[in-house]
Structure 1
Amino acid sequence: MNRRPFPVPALAVGLAATLALTLAGCSSDSPELKAEGGYMPQPVGDLAAGFLVVANHGGADDKLTSVTSGLSDDITIHQTENQKMREVKSFDIPAGGELDLERGGNHIMFMNLKQQPKQGQKVGIELHFEKTDPIKVELPVKATNYNPAQH
């Protein structure tokens, strides 16, 4: 019986190279964003605010640069410092960290609403980032005075 020896070294090198490439793809040098815990208090006039957390599970920073929605054509992102609100061009989302848009702090501002969403409905928004593809989010409309810190 004339058998050729199984090329173990070549197979081992090939498997090792494949594994290394696979693991390299898993160790992310890019942002991996997920939006969670979002809500919108029921608006009283033609203004509304939106709140949520954007978690970055990736290995690179990103920035929230804008928000769009069918609810309004005039949506901005606001930073709150010393009880003063000002519009900003972006919010940083650090690698392994999160951006927390919360009541009394940084938030999304909707102006000149096209309709009045009511408690129990959902408002669709799209978050836009510097590096990552947009994320679509449904914000449940809560009571006007809703504050998750108190619930």
Structure 2
Amino acid sequence: MDIDKRDQALIALLQKNSRTPIIELAKALSVSRTTVQNRIETLQRRGIIKGFTIEFDPEYNLKLLKAQMLINLTPGVSRTVIKQLQAKPQITSIMSVSGIYDLIIELTVEASSQLDQLVDDIREINGIEKTISCVVLSKY
């Protein structure tokens, strides 16, 4: 995927702040607003830009409670279970793994009561045989 220097500059500006108004991007790149909008749309169509995101305040992130859950599944249910897990916004990552467990999921909530409820909800999903939960204390 070759991209020119102007697209590289646009991508760099969007990486710093994906909410920068088109007019500011156009001024920074010395091009028209239409040019910037067209380039963004082209980058999206080509799959170079998949989406726009936000960055949270580090203080907010420190207050979040994160956990990992190791999951054993009944044979033949992984697709169904994964779809149900993907529907839960508090699950930030789902990984299929080798070893004695089938999945590892990462959970993010604001309070221990929410984690308790989420763990109970996950354990009630048909096809989940066994789970082990680990609360993350620190990340380095």
* TM-score computed with the length of structure 2 as normaliser: 0.29
The structure with the greater share of residues assigned to strand is 1
Point out which structure has higher relative CO (alpha carbons under 8 A, 6+ apart): 1
The structure with the greater share of residues assigned to helix is 2
* TM-score computed with the length of structure 1 as normaliser: 0.28
